[in-house]
Amino acid sequence: MTKVITYGTFDLLHYGHINLLKRAKELGDYLIVGVTAEAYDMARGKINVTQSLSERIENVRETGLADEIIVEEYEGQKIDDIKRYGIDIFAIGSDWKDKFDYLSDYCKVVYLDRTKGISSTSLRAEDNRLKVGLIGDAPWLDKYRRQARFVNGMEIVGVATSHKESLAKGLAALPLVTSNIDELLAAVDAVIISSDPLLHHAQVEHALKAGKHVLCESPFALTTHEGEALASYASEHNLVLQDAIKTAYSTAYHRLCLLVKGGKIGKVVSVDATCTTLRYSKDDNAVSGANWGGMGEWGPIALLPIFQLLGTGYTSRQIVARGEKGYVHEGEFTKIDLVYPNAVASMKVATGVKSEGELIVSGTDAYVYVPAPWWKTDYFEIRYENPADNKRYFYQLEGEGFRYELITFVQAVSTGRENSYITRDISSALCQIMGDYYNNPDTLRID
């Protein structure tokens, strides 16, 4: 019996895919089809997949051409599969010509002509793209525009800002540049908000009531009640409202959380996260109007691993802040300590104090170490008492996580299914603790 194997994402299955599967089937007696998992696609930088893995597997199954379907999950799996299944022929589309010649050491390699004029990419492009507007003055706002170019199904068409003079060149060249949010909302289907957290609630509410989907830099609001009210309104009106914390969408960071929750380091006893920068100065007035300082920029990022690994049920907390209240970059330094029934956590964020920007998760069997800048996680270590047992993990990170965040948002809008990597309870907890910081109920201040 001649065994044939082929691989693909098989997103938005079309007759080009079917023709390829038919030709692969004709090469032998038994066809195995490998469907690529989302995590592997993301790790190799392919993030424009529209359908879930289960949907894509079912699409292949329904063709009746596959005798067996497997999932491709890691680099080098093709060689393992060829050996494991006793494969005689590896078949792949001709657009991969010469790329898999190395497999000829293990089996025959055949490149099949692709059906001209049809591809998943072209099908996605034929759909009406989500027209997206940007709202805010953050110095990193242009990163959304740049990374959106790699995401099928969306188009950045304009920006609403109160600081037109400080816009990056790419943003200033957008078709619509305005200081009037209503003008922007009239031209888009969705918005990305990256502004002073004190403005978030009003801006999110404004966009939702205009019938627009919203991706907002966390938090949505500065009280749990307001945040939950916004989420409820979005749900009731079939609108997507998602937190934007790019770190949550890093493949490496997501893998780290899964390993820790799976008991890889034993019971988690402590989480410590630090995010600092000195790129702002006290007299710097050319930061695109970004005057919300360290806590507004870094707070939700530093709190994310704490809430995702320990939950939101802390029993006490202390906030300590340094920086002249009311000055342009008030959040010069902030430290928050949280106490849980069986664990503790600490986060430090700053724009006027420098420290090692690392993440450390301490457990009863081992600890996780993520070097600076941990919020752009592409590598981490699990360290044991015996260094010989240490494990290192590497995952490719494209676009600092912005790309993955954007594709998740587009998928949520197109499918109508909530798929944010930040759960509602964490979103609410971020609203609460960020509100506590801004409202200063019992914040300790140091000189």
Give me the pLDDT at residue 179, please.
Answer: 94
Q: Which helix (H) or strand (E) holds 23?
A: helix 15-25
CB neighbour list of residue 387: distance below 8 Å, 6 or more residues apart: none
> What angle, 0 to 180 degrees and rounded to 10, lies between the N-to-C axes of helices 224-236 and 197-209?
20
Distance CA 202, CA 196 (A): 11
Domain ranges of the chain: 3-121, 123-246, 251-396
Backbone angles phi, psi at 131, to 5 degrees: -85, 120
CATH number attached to the domain at 3-121: 3.40.50.620
Give me the pLDDT at residue 301, please.
Answer: 95
Query: Could you give the 3-state DSSP secondary structure of residue 244?
Result: strand
Q: Which helix (H) or strand (E) holds 188?
A: none
Where are the strands (E) in 264-390, listed by range? 268-276, 316-322, 333-339, 344-350, 359-363, 366-370, 379-384
CA-based nearest residue to 241, from 252, 250, 229, 253: 229
CA-based nearest residue to 310, from 284, 279, 273: 273
Top CATH class of 123-246 equals alpha beta
Asked if domains 123-246 and 251-396 share a fold, the reply is no
Q: Using the CB atoms, write b or e for 180-192: b if 16+ within 10 Å.
A: ebeebbeebbbbb
Distance CA 427, CA 310 (A): 14
Distance CA 223, CA 371 (A): 32
CA dihedral 404, 409, 412, 414 (to 10 degrees): -100
Residues in the chain: 447
Does the predicted TM-score (pTM) go above 0.85?
no
CATH homologous superfamily of 251-396 equals Dihydrodipicolinate Reductase; domain 2 (3.30.360.10)
CB neighbour list of residue 414: distance below 8 Å, 6 or more residues apart: 50, 127, 130, 153
CA distances from 431 to 283, 318, 437 (A): 29, 16, 10
Distance CA 176, CA 173 (A): 8
Give me the pLDDT at residue 330, please.
Answer: 52
Per-residue pLDDT of the chain (447 residues; tens, 9 = 90+): 999 999 988 887 777 888 899 999 999 999 999 998 876 655 555 555 667 788 889 889 988 999 999 998 877 899 999 999 999 999 998 888 888 999 999 999 999 887 655 554 554 454 567 899 999 988 788 999 998 887 777 899 999 998 888 888 999 999 999 999 999 999 999 999 999 899 999 999 999 999 999 999 999 999 999 999 999 999 999 999 999 999 998 888 988 999 999 999 999 999 999 998 876 544 444 444 455 558 888 999 999 999 999 999 999 999 998 875 543 345 688 999 999 999 999 999 988 888 999 999 999 999 999 999 999 988 999 999 999 999 999 887 777 888 888 888 987 887 777 778 899 999 999 999 999 988 876 778 787
Alpha-helix runs per DSSP H in 247-342: 251-261, 293-310
> Which residue(s) pair with 194 in the sheet?
136
Distance CA 248, CA 254 (A): 7
Distance CA 322, CA 334 (A): 6
Give me the pLDDT at residue 96, please.
Answer: 86
